Protein backbone atom coordinates (compact mmCIF):
# COMPACT_ATOMS: atom_id res chain seq x y z
CA UNK A 1 0.00 0.00 0.00
CA UNK A 2 1.48 3.38 -0.95
CA UNK A 3 2.21 5.56 2.06
CA UNK A 4 4.09 8.79 2.59
CA UNK A 5 6.71 6.90 4.58
CA UNK A 6 7.40 4.67 1.57
CA UNK A 7 7.65 7.75 -0.65
CA UNK A 8 10.13 9.37 1.74
CA UNK A 9 12.17 6.16 1.91
CA UNK A 10 12.19 6.03 -1.90
CA UNK A 11 13.46 9.61 -2.15
CA UNK A 12 16.03 9.24 0.65
CA UNK A 13 17.48 5.97 -0.59
CA UNK A 14 17.54 7.04 -4.23
CA UNK A 15 19.46 10.20 -3.31
CA UNK A 16 21.74 8.33 -0.94
CA UNK A 17 22.43 5.66 -3.56
CA UNK A 18 23.42 8.28 -6.14
CA UNK A 19 25.73 9.98 -3.62
CA UNK A 20 27.23 6.65 -2.53
CA UNK A 21 27.72 5.61 -6.16
CA UNK A 22 29.56 8.82 -6.96
CA UNK A 23 31.73 8.36 -3.89
CA UNK A 24 32.34 4.71 -4.80
CA UNK A 25 33.54 5.52 -8.31
CA UNK A 26 35.78 8.26 -6.88
CA UNK A 27 37.69 5.51 -5.01
CA UNK A 28 38.94 4.04 -8.32
CA UNK A 29 41.97 5.32 -10.21
CA UNK A 30 40.36 4.14 -13.46
CA UNK A 31 36.63 3.61 -12.77
CA UNK A 32 34.94 0.77 -14.67
CA UNK A 33 32.01 2.88 -15.90
CA UNK A 34 30.13 1.12 -18.70
CA UNK A 35 26.84 3.04 -18.57
CA UNK A 36 25.18 5.81 -16.55
CA UNK A 37 25.89 4.58 -13.01
CA UNK A 38 24.08 7.41 -11.18
CA UNK A 39 20.81 6.48 -12.90
CA UNK A 40 21.22 2.79 -12.07
CA UNK A 41 22.17 3.50 -8.45
CA UNK A 42 19.17 5.81 -8.15
CA UNK A 43 16.79 3.18 -9.50
CA UNK A 44 18.20 0.48 -7.23
CA UNK A 45 18.08 2.82 -4.22
CA UNK A 46 14.50 3.83 -5.00
CA UNK A 47 13.43 0.20 -5.27
CA UNK A 48 15.11 -0.72 -1.99
CA UNK A 49 13.65 2.34 -0.26
CA UNK A 50 10.10 1.69 -1.46
CA UNK A 51 9.93 -2.07 -1.04
CA UNK A 52 12.28 -2.86 1.82
CA UNK A 53 12.77 0.18 4.05
CA UNK A 54 9.49 2.04 3.60
CA UNK A 55 7.41 -1.06 4.20
CA UNK A 56 9.23 -2.11 7.40
CA UNK A 57 9.77 1.16 9.30
CA UNK A 58 7.58 1.65 12.37
CA UNK A 59 7.56 3.84 15.52
CA UNK A 60 10.63 2.32 17.21
CA UNK A 61 13.59 4.54 16.27
CA UNK A 62 16.26 1.96 17.12
CA UNK A 63 14.52 -0.51 14.85
CA UNK A 64 14.19 2.18 12.17
CA UNK A 65 17.95 2.86 12.31
CA UNK A 66 18.65 -0.88 12.02
CA UNK A 67 16.25 -1.15 9.06
CA UNK A 68 18.15 1.73 7.43
CA UNK A 69 21.41 -0.19 7.82
CA UNK A 70 19.76 -3.31 6.42
CA UNK A 71 18.51 -1.18 3.52
CA UNK A 72 22.09 -0.13 2.79
CA UNK A 73 23.15 -3.79 2.82
CA UNK A 74 20.34 -4.57 0.36
CA UNK A 75 21.46 -1.64 -1.77
CA UNK A 76 25.02 -3.01 -1.81
CA UNK A 77 23.79 -6.52 -2.66
CA UNK A 78 21.60 -5.43 -5.56
CA UNK A 79 24.23 -3.01 -6.85
CA UNK A 80 26.82 -5.79 -6.85
CA UNK A 81 24.41 -8.03 -8.75
CA UNK A 82 23.37 -5.44 -11.35
CA UNK A 83 26.78 -3.88 -11.97
CA UNK A 84 28.49 -7.28 -11.86
CA UNK A 85 26.17 -8.57 -14.56
CA UNK A 86 26.73 -5.44 -16.67
CA UNK A 87 30.50 -5.83 -16.29
CA UNK A 88 30.34 -9.55 -17.12
CA UNK A 89 28.41 -8.79 -20.31
CA UNK A 90 30.89 -6.05 -21.26
CA UNK A 91 33.84 -8.38 -20.68
CA UNK A 92 32.04 -11.21 -22.46
CA UNK A 93 31.49 -9.10 -25.56
CA UNK A 94 35.18 -8.20 -25.43
CA UNK A 95 35.89 -11.98 -25.53
CA UNK A 96 37.58 -12.11 -22.14
CA UNK A 97 35.62 -15.22 -21.12
CA UNK A 98 35.75 -18.59 -22.86
CA UNK A 99 32.41 -19.87 -21.60
CA UNK A 100 29.45 -19.43 -19.30
CA UNK A 101 31.17 -21.02 -16.32
CA UNK A 102 34.13 -18.69 -16.62
CA UNK A 103 31.75 -15.71 -16.88
CA UNK A 104 29.92 -16.84 -13.73
CA UNK A 105 33.20 -17.13 -11.86
CA UNK A 106 34.11 -13.74 -13.32
CA UNK A 107 31.01 -12.22 -11.70
CA UNK A 108 32.19 -13.40 -8.29
CA UNK A 109 35.66 -11.96 -8.98
CA UNK A 110 34.10 -8.61 -9.94
CA UNK A 111 31.94 -8.63 -6.79
CA UNK A 112 34.99 -9.41 -4.65
CA UNK A 113 36.97 -6.57 -6.28
CA UNK A 114 34.14 -4.12 -5.66
CA UNK A 115 33.72 -5.24 -2.04
CA UNK A 116 37.46 -4.81 -1.51
CA UNK A 117 37.21 -1.22 -2.77
CA UNK A 118 34.15 -0.63 -0.51
CA UNK A 119 36.13 -1.81 2.52
CA UNK A 120 37.90 1.56 2.63
CA UNK A 121 37.07 2.86 6.14
CA UNK A 122 35.81 6.29 5.08
CA UNK A 123 33.42 4.83 2.55
CA UNK A 124 32.17 2.12 4.92
CA UNK A 125 31.50 4.77 7.59
CA UNK A 126 29.66 6.87 5.00
CA UNK A 127 27.43 3.89 4.18
CA UNK A 128 26.77 3.12 7.85
CA UNK A 129 25.95 6.70 8.82
CA UNK A 130 23.82 7.18 5.71
CA UNK A 131 21.79 4.08 6.50
CA UNK A 132 21.26 5.06 10.14
CA UNK A 133 20.27 8.64 9.28
CA UNK A 134 17.93 7.55 6.48
CA UNK A 135 16.29 4.98 8.75
CA UNK A 136 15.88 7.48 11.58
CA UNK A 137 14.36 10.07 9.26
CA UNK A 138 11.90 7.49 7.97
CA UNK A 139 11.07 6.43 11.54
CA UNK A 140 10.48 10.02 12.66
CA UNK A 141 8.37 10.69 9.60
CA UNK A 142 6.37 7.52 10.27
CA UNK A 143 5.60 8.79 13.78
CA UNK A 144 4.34 12.11 12.43
CA UNK A 145 2.41 10.61 9.51
CA UNK A 146 0.78 7.93 11.63
CA UNK A 147 -0.15 10.42 14.35
CA UNK A 148 -1.90 12.60 11.79
CA UNK A 149 -3.70 9.66 10.23
CA UNK A 150 -4.79 8.31 13.66
CA UNK A 151 -6.35 11.68 14.56
CA UNK A 152 -8.76 11.52 11.62
Helix (H), strand (E) counts: the chain: 6, 0
R_g (Cα) of the chain, nearest Å? 18
pLDDT band (50, 70, 90) for residue 34: low
Task: Report the pLDDT value the prediction gives residue 13, as an integer from 0 to 100.
Answer: 95
**pLDDT surpassing 70 at residue 25:** yes
What is the pTM (predicted TM-score) of this model? Answer: 0.86
- Burial code (b: 16+ CB inside 10 Å, e: under 16) for 12-46 equals bbbbbbbbbbeebeeeeeeeeeeeebeebbbebbb
Number of domains the chain contains: 1
Its domain, for residue 114, covers 4-151
> Over the stretch 66-123, which tens digit does the pLDDT of each residue have?
999 999 999 999 988 888 888 888 777 778 777 878 888 888 888 898 888 888 999 9
Rounded alpha-carbon distances, angstroms, from residue 76 to 82, 114, 118, 144: 10, 10, 10, 29
Amino acid sequence: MPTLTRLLALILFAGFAVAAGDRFYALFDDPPIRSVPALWFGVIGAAVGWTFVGGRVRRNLAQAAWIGVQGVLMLILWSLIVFGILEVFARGYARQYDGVTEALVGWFVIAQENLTVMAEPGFALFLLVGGVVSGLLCGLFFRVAEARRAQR
